[in-house]
Amino acid sequence: MNNVLMLLENEFPFDDRVEKEAISLIDSGFKVSLLCPTFSNQVRREFYNNIDIYRFAIKKNIFNKLLGLIQLFPFYKILWKRKVTKIINQQNIDIIHIHDLPLCCLIDSLKSYSNLKFIADMHENYPAMVSGQEHMKRFPNKYMISIKKWYKLEKKWLKNADLIICTASGMISRLSGEIGEGHDFVLVPNTVDIEKFKGSQKRDPEIEKKFVDDFVILSYGVVSEQRGVQYAIQAIDLIKEKIPEVKLLILGDGSYLENLKKQAVALGVGRYIIFEGWQNQSVLISYMENTDLCIIPHIKSEHTDNTSPNKLFHFMYFSKPVVASNCNYIQEIVEEENCGLVYTYDDPKELAEAILLLYSGKNKRETMGNNGQQAISVKYNWATTSMSMIEKYKSMTAQ
């Protein structure tokens, strides 16, 4: 049996992608261990869904400072290397599976273990993601952290990976151009584990009584400026006279929520915008009961062009038409599967027109929703999209 050690910067559980990958590998005959920090009172060692979890305790503010200083000082690398080498020596590890870019700093220093293979799992376009974060615009980060250096480090670290996993096809194109030919890539988008997702859903009759007589547009997820919901609120202002029963249902919380509430009041659309706050993913089935269409209004950027958000596949699973901004990978799927409409991300008028088109075309909504659900059952489900990763693993360990 081949031994895999996953490295994760966040507490575990819960990380849906990490858990799905680990379980798929275990089901394919691999032994999977996972090393991660704990910022709370989690036990240091436990088995969870057959994943052998190692945790080390550290205060979150200290951990974040070490990560924030990764470009200037080696403390973050030293911390992780000590923990990783101990497990390598104990468990006879064959493959190191690294989640996200910062921990790829370890690859060079672990190359002395000649039997090890390194897999870099790029959940995000990390340099682009960092450049869009609010804290990067403030002192001292604005002056201490270089986005250009993140791109240089990405190129340096990933050149030594044996396999690079990406969540979007554009990310593969970008990285293959950056680090040159001869590197192995595999596409593993954040698709739905159908049976697990279905089993996690719990109906809530109280939720299902809401919005029965409304035309409901649903937005789901973290609320930040980059998620673009502010443009959706502007679109509601443009269509409220034509769709008097419209409701924009915002499920989520985040740093930008108060800005959205103020915007709704300023535009005089407060009664059309429903802020439900953060909701557990398990009740999505009940919110979908009276939802007519779903939106993904992300601001187009190098980051959002190269991501595959879980919610896209969730919306498709529930047979809901998707109105999405023109972020590359999202647009590629929506248009390829004819499961919704795409608009220019910063054009609320164009968004309003897309909503009006679907409002007046119930058959079109149903057709697009069914197309999305069909694509999930056949193509964009975890059992299918994880197969390429499993095959790469098997070929690596057969050498």
Q: Where are the domains of the chain?
A: 3-190+382-398, 195-378
The Cα–Cα gap between 282 and 279 comes to 8
**Closest by alpha carbon to 21, among 392, 375, 333?**
392
Summarised one tens digit per residue, pLDDT across range 143-172 is: 456 888 999 999 999 999 999 999 999 999
Q: Give the pLDDT score at 261.
A: 98
135 vs 140, 147, 379, CA distance in Å? 9, 13, 38
Q: Architecture of domain 3-190+382-398 in CATH? A: 3-Layer(aba) Sandwich (3.40)
Lowest-confidence range among 75-89, 150-164, 173-187, 263-277? Answer: 173-187
Distances 134 to 121, 151, 197 between C-alpha atoms, Å: 25, 19, 32
One-letter amino acid at 338 equals: N
CA distances from 157 to 35, 107, 126, 188, 368 (A): 20, 7, 13, 20, 42
Q: Is the pLDDT of residue 134 over 80?
A: no
132 pLDDT band (50/70/90 cuts)?
low
pLDDT digits (tens, 9 = 90+) for 378-396: 999 999 999 999 999 999 9
**Gap between the Cα atoms of 36 and 95, Å rounded:** 16
- Same fold flag, 3-190+382-398 and 195-378: yes
Give the tokens for residue 304.
């959002």
Neighbours of 256 (CB within 10 A): 19
Dihedral, CA of residue 171, residue 117, residue 190 and residue 1, to nearest 10: 160
Q: What is the pLDDT of residue 136?
A: 47
Instruction: Give CATH for domain 195-378.
Output: 3.40.50.2000
What number of CA atoms fall less than 13 Å from residue 255's CA on the CB side?
7
Region 339-352 average pLDDT: 98
Amino acid occupying residue 237: D
Q: How far from 120 is each of 98, 183, 247, 274, CA to CA, in Å?
A: 5, 12, 42, 40
Nearest residue to 24 (alpha-carbon basis) of 50, 1, 57: 50
257-262: average pLDDT? 98
Which strands sit side by side in the sheet containing 291-296, from one edge to the other? 273-277, 246-251, 215-220, 291-296, 322-325, 340-343
Handedness of CA 16, 21, 24, 26 (dihedral sign): negative
| Backbone φ/ψ region at 371: left (φ over 0), alpha (ψ -120 to 50), beta | alpha
Residue range 55-67: average pLDDT? 93
Binning pLDDT at 50, 70 and 90, where does residue 114 land?
confident
Tell me which DSSP letter residue 94 carries.
-
Q: What is the pLDDT of residue 399?
A: 62
pLDDT at residue number 131: 75
